[in-house]
């Protein structure tokens, strides 16, 4: 979710195992350009699950019928999210 009072910031809350993890995110800044930040490819508006479910389309118009099975899309999102959280929380 984006912070309306801080446009360069968003918050991510996800379930990992039997607990929830919350992470404050900042968008591209000088430190990121210096390579001293953690990053993963995520949907710019943090609506990855909406794109995967076909509830939102990209500007290019690609939607739910891109040939990738729904279950595989969800598995990819979950794997990317888990890897990102691990890299932030564990420094992996």
Cα–Cα distance measured from residue 77 to residue 72, given in angstroms and rounded to the nearest whole number:
9
Model confidence pLDDT, tens digit, residues 15-62: 888 889 888 877 766 655 665 555 555 666 667 777 777 787 777 665
- φ/ψ region of 27 (left if φ > 0, alpha if ψ in -120 to 50, else beta) reads beta
> Residue-wise over 75-88: b if at least 16 C-beta within 10 A, else e?
eebeeebeebbeeb
Cα–Cα distance measured from residue 57 to residue 61, given in angstroms and rounded to the nearest whole number:
5
User: Per-domain residue ranges for the chain?
Assistant: 2-89
Cα–Cα distance measured from residue 51 to residue 70, given in angstroms and rounded to the nearest whole number:
11
- Which residues on adjacent β-strands are paired with residue 6? 3
What global pTM score does this model have? Answer: 0.63
């Amino acid at each position: 979710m984006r912070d309306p009072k801080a446009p360069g910031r968003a918050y991510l809350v996800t379930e990992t195992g039997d607990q929830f993890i919350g992470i404050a995110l900042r968008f591209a800044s000088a430190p990121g350009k210096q390579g001293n930040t953690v990053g993963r490819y995520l949907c710019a508006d943090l609506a990855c699950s909406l794109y995967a479910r076909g509830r939102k389309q990209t500007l290019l118009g690609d939607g739910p019928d891109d040939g990738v099975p729904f279950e595989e899309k969800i598995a990819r999102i979950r794997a990317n999210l888990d890897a990102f959280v691990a890299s932030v929380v564990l420094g992996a």
